[in-house]
Each structure stands twice: as C-alpha cells, then as structure tokens.
Amino acid sequence: MGRMRAEMFYADADVYYNQDSNKSETVMYIELPVENLLYQINYKNNLYESPVTFTINIVSQSDSDVVRKVYNEFSSYTEKELKDKMKQSLYFVYKYFIPSGKYKAKIKIKDENSENEFTKSFDLTVNDFTVKNITVSDMLILKKYVVNENGTKDITPLIKNNIFGENDLHLFFEIYNNTGNDLAAAYIIKLSDEKHKTVWQDSVSYNLKPGRNREVEKIYVPDNLFKNGKSDKSENNSAKYKIELIDKSTNETVTSKNLKSIPPFVPQMMHRPPGY
C-alpha cells in the first residue's frame, strides 16, 4: 500500500505554441490509475462511482499564483467494467496560457470517497516560441500511436515517463517555422543513459512549412536497455535516461525529456516452515 500511495497519480506538463492566440500554451497531463481509487456502489443505479477533486496551482518564482484551478471529476462503471478497467488509467488534460518564464506546478488530488489527499510538484519552464526563426515545443512520449483507416489517430501519452517494458514508443513534438518560407532542417534524436552514454540515436530531416509542423517519430528501445546489471526487481533496480532532439547544424539540443526505467515492484514471498 505504501508504494501504491507514493504513486497515486502521475503528472507532467508540456508547452506548445498556440498560433491562433500567439501565446505559449501549457498542457497539463494527469494519469490516475483506476486501482488507486476507492469506488463505492450507488444502489440507485447499481454503478460503482468515484468522485475526485483536482487542485492545480502554478506559481511564479516570486510565489504568486499564476493558475489556480479546481476540477471536479467523476467516473462510474458497472461491476464488470470496473474489473476490466482495474489495470487501466484515467487521463485528464488541462490547458493554460501562461507568459514565458519559470514556474512551480503543484497538483493535489482528493479521493472524495476515501477522503485521502495526494500531492505532487515539479518545475515548469514556459518558452517564448517566437524568438528564433525555428523553435521546437516540448516532447510528449506516446505509448500508443495508431493511425486509423479514416485518417484519425488514437494516442495514449506515457505521463509517468517510465519506459520499462515499453517496446512501441513514439515521440511527439512540434516545430515552428516563424519565417514565411519553407525551410529544410535536420536533427538527431538521441537516447542516452545517466552517464551520458548513447544507447540509441537516429537522424531525421524535415521540410518545414511556415507555421506549425507536427512530427511523430518511432523510438527504438534496445532489448538490453533494462538489463542494468541486477537480476532482482527491487524498487532500487532503476535507471535514468534522457531523450534529446539535436539540431545537426548547430549541435544544440532544442528540446529534451527526462525518462526513467523502473520495473514493477514484486513483493518477496515469505517462506514458512511446513505446518505453519
């Protein structure tokens, strides 16, 4: 229970350029595992229900509120649906227009049925995407990316940024061409470990149209990435990684994302003598 409580929910934020408003748009992603919520049956409709309250607070370096929002979310399932969704997650997306600068994001979640509260906080940098001819948004890791026959796309973000056991990952980002002309650009996508050793990299080239260019690239995760010298699956058997988009012409990292590889926690079996 202690481990579950520590990972009650996952949160991350990425910043993009909203050209309709000419402002930077901060997108907050929250992943809430269904199994971490207390569902109670409503005998009027025979559904299992869980109301949850989110409080999202973004503060400036001077500790003044820039965003303070409260959201009341709700999910309900039949008994069969709840059993099927127990290993799945609920996803929530909120968007804010915030001036460029450095901030602290604070998220609090209250499970209204159990009355338990859980919090997370992290640093947030909002860039100005108009300062150069070509700028790049933050990265979003996708653990599901499917293009349907009708052209629509089904995506599931990897909010926890834990790549352990994930072998079908994609990388989403936007490139903004702030000139009025087509431009050619070439980049290196590099995945490296915490010792800065490259474990995989690829080269990509784009013909950038004026305005926003949305890009999705497949990430190749080597099979031996998760074999970091330990045979057990303890909580300490983890590793840190970083994925970067590097401009070939300048060797500058234009956007990056910190990743981790944490295997699922497997509690040790207690061995008892016969007769106990």
Q: How confident is the model at residue 143 (pLDDT cuts 50, 70, 90)?
A: very high
Q: How confident is the model at residue 4 (pLDDT cuts 50, 70, 90)?
A: very low
Among 213, 206, 216, CA closest to 155: 216
Q: How far apart are CA 115 and CA 125, in angstroms?
A: 32
Q: How far apart are CA 136 and CA 177, in angstroms?
A: 9
Compute CA distances 115 → 11, 43, 52, 257, 267, whole Å.
20, 21, 9, 34, 27
CATH class of 1-128: mainly beta
Query: Is the pLDDT reported for residue 231 higher than 80?
Result: no
- How is residue 34 annotated by DSSP? G
Compute CA distances 202 → 7, 21, 188, whole Å.
33, 34, 6
Q: How many CA atoms lie within 13 A of 244 on its CB side?
A: 18
Vertex 14, ends 10 and 15: CA angle to 5°? 155
pTM: 0.87
User: CATH fold of 132-265, please?
Assistant: Immunoglobulin-like (2.60.40)
DSSP 180-216: SS-EEEEEEEEEEETT--EEEEEEEEEEEPSEEEEEE
Q: Render pLDDT for 200-230 as a digit per residue (tens, 0 to 9).
A: 999 999 999 999 999 999 998 877 666 543 4
Say what the pLDDT of residue 20 is. 86
- Residue 21 contacts residue 3 (beta carbons within 8 Å): no
The three-state secondary structure class of 166 is coil
Question: Residue type for 274, please?
Answer: P
Q: Which residue intervals of the chain bear CATH 2.60.40.10?
A: 1-128, 132-265
In whole numbers, what is the pLDDT of the chain averaged over residues? Answer: 89
Report the share of the chain in percent with pLDDT over 90. Answer: 75
